[in-house]
Amino acid sequence: MKVGYDYPGITIVYFYHDGKGNFIMAKRSKNTRDEHNRWDIGAGGLELGETIDTTLRREIKEEYCTDVLDYTYLGFRELHRTHKDKKTHWIGLDFKVLINPKKVANGEPHKFDQIAWFTLSKVPNRVHSQFPGFLEKYKDKL
């Protein structure tokens, strides 16, 4: 049985920001599962026995080499997609996460071709398919 295909998975989704109106996105490389060359906010699967807080902190440290200064739970979304002609189902627990921009680095260069800072008024053109829904749902909280 495979998570997300045979039963719903849980993913922790994070909108990293600097507290000054800037947020970070990563450009997905050809080595990622899908959505290559698209800009994405962070996410990581909740592992069995791991708390949501631990997953959030671990993933941010792995992806951006920095620690969480503070975070706010925004809500959840049901994520239904198709991957390689198979339907997937994930529950996304969404967070707004404050990080120190001076400590940010690309911790997963094998997955991310590039990381960059953006503002809500200047979002890149090619974004992950789930980002517009995230933005629409939480635009007043970001």
Tell me the pLDDT tens digit for each residue of 23-48: 999 999 999 989 999 999 999 999 99
pLDDT confidence of residue 84: 85
CA distances from 28 to 74, 110, 127 (A): 24, 9, 10
Nearest Cα to Cα of residue 91 among 6, 2, 7, 8 = 8
3-state SS class at 38: coil
Residues 140 and 71: their CA atoms lie apart, in Å, by 16
Q: How far is the CA of 119 from the CAs of 40, 58, 131, in angstroms?
A: 14, 25, 14
pLDDT at residue 125, as a whole number: 94
- Specify the pLDDT at position 83: 80
**CATH architecture of the domain formed by 9-138:** Alpha-Beta Complex (3.90)
pLDDT of residue 33: 87
Along the chain (142 residues), what's the average pLDDT of each consecutive run of 10 residues? 92 97 97 94 94 96 96 97 89 97 96 97 96 96 96
CA dihedral 66, 77, 33, 132 (to 10 degrees): -90
Euclidean distance between CA atoms 50 and 44, whole angstroms:
12
Q: What pTM was computed for the model?
A: 0.94
At 132, list the tokens.
């517009």
